[in-house]
Amino acid sequence: MAIRHWIALLVTLSLLLPAIHASDGDADPIYRACMEHCEKTGCVGDKCFQHCKFTSDGKPIDGPWYMQEPLYLRWKQWDCRSDCRYHCMLTREEEREKGGDKPVKYHGKWPFRRVYGIQEPVTVAFSALSLAVQFHGWLSFFILLYYKLPLRPDKKTYYEYTGLWHIYGILAMNSWFWSAVFHCRDVEFTEKLNYSSAVALLGFNFILAIMRACNIRDEAARVMVAAPFVAFVTTHILYLNFYRLDYGLNMKVTVAMGVAQLLIWAVWAGVTHHPSRWKLWVVVVGGGLAMLLEIYDFPPYRGFVDAHALYHATSVPLTYLWWSFIRDDAEFRTSTLLKKAK
Ligand SMILES: [Zn+2]
């Protein structure tokens, strides 16, 4: 039972989660000196930025008000400070690389190279791909249920989990959308939307795992099971948005919910005679491996591919297989119910 070992390992890892460490990069005196120089002169080396002709509160140092930052640039929050941070970081990382040093984090993030202003292009591409696969999966599920499988006389589906999977599809697409936006441009509101959507999806998946694995079909029982988890997830999202965006706490909450649902699916896959249970196994093992990437993040290779980018990459095939399992489940349940009815 290799899966048991995996789960044991994951649970142990989640308990040993290291506390979030301060970033080494922005504590570096050479980086600090570069920032100070840049904010005064607007230049890093021979590269100068027009944003730095303005003070941090947006007042121009020289020139009248209409010479201020164009609105679209202000919306993207590309101001003097973020330009200085980016270019001081690149310069410092180049020096460190020549000296044989490994990349370090700056202000809590790995040093990524921008492409056309996109901060993490590889991660954005995988998020967009996941969004596309998610949409395809959801659409094919919809077509299967309403156009291919027989419907009840009241035009409802025989499959009892239709509504739950629809909500899952919508929450997942919402989450991939905000993930792509956040990895394009990391500012406070995109970060909060990304974290909130991910937590909402994970929380709902957890409820869904309980419902499906325990075969809860009665409406009242569903409400009773879901209520405490909905309350917990809502509180956590409100806490992150309006009290404190605590990365360490959020990591613990998401890993705990992730491990718990993998356990539920794994146990169910072990006892059920479901014809597509192998797909469940692949998703559980793949999901576990992906979670390891999330926990042990390594710096970006050539400034582009880090552990989190690979984590997003694994989601693409797993999402495809997951929807394939959901479609199989719909067919399986429908044929079982039809056989019983005869
Ligand atoms: Zn992400």
Q: What is the Cα–Cα distance from 98 to 267, expressed in whole angstroms? A: 50
- Ligand 1 centroid to 198 CA: how many Å? 9
Q: Is there a domain that residue 8 lies in?
A: no
Same domain, 226 and 150: yes
- Ligand 1 centroid to 183 CA: how many Å? 7
Same domain, 51 and 149: no
Amino acid residing at 177: F
Same domain, 249 and 141: yes
Domain tally, the chain: 2
- Ligand 1 centroid to 2 CA: how many Å? 28
Same domain, 85 and 123: no
- Predicted confidence (pLDDT) per residue in 7-22, tens digit: 666 555 555 444 344 5
Same domain, 170 and 58: no
Q: Of 63, 98, 133, which residue sits at a domain end?
A: 98
Same domain, 144 and 29: no
Same domain, 124 and 84: no
- Ligand 1 centroid to 123 CA: how many Å? 7
Q: Is there a domain that residue 161 lies in?
A: yes
Total-model pTM:
0.82
Same domain, 149 and 91: no
Q: Is there a domain that residue 16 lies in?
A: no
Which pLDDT belongs to residue 84?
85
- Predicted confidence (pLDDT) per residue in 230-288, tens digit: 999 999 999 999 998 888 899 899 989 999 999 999 999 999 889 999 999 999 999 99
H or E element in which residue 80 lies: helix 80-98
Other CB atoms closer than 10 Å to residue 221's CB: what's the count?
A: 12
Same domain, 182 and 328: yes
| Choice between 142 and 94, residue whose per-residue pLDDT is larger | 142
Question: Environment class of residue 120 by beta-carbon count within 10 Å: exposed (0-12), middle (13-18) or buried (19+)?
Answer: buried
Which pLDDT belongs to residue 1?
46
Q: Which of 9-18, 82-91, 202-211 has the highest mean pLDDT?
A: 202-211
> 70: domain range?
25-98
Amino acid residing at 57: D
Same domain, 239 and 123: yes
| CATH code of the domain containing 148 | 1.20.1070
Same domain, 217 and 144: yes
Q: What is the Cα–Cα distance from 30 to 38, expressed in whole angstroms? A: 12
- Ligand 1 centroid to 18 CA: how many Å? 19
Same domain, 140 and 289: yes
User: Side-chain half-sphere of 287: how many Cα atoms within 13 Å?
Assistant: 25
The answer, yes or no, to whether residue 327 has pLDDT greater than 90, is: yes
Confidence of residue 51 (pLDDT cuts 50, 70, 90): low
Confidence of residue 135 (pLDDT cuts 50, 70, 90): very high
Mean pLDDT of 213-234: 93
- Predicted confidence (pLDDT) per residue in 162-171, tens digit: 999 999 999 9
Q: Is there a domain that residue 2 lies in?
A: no
- Ligand 1 centroid to 146 CA: how many Å? 33
- Ligand 1 centroid to 84 CA: how many Å? 24
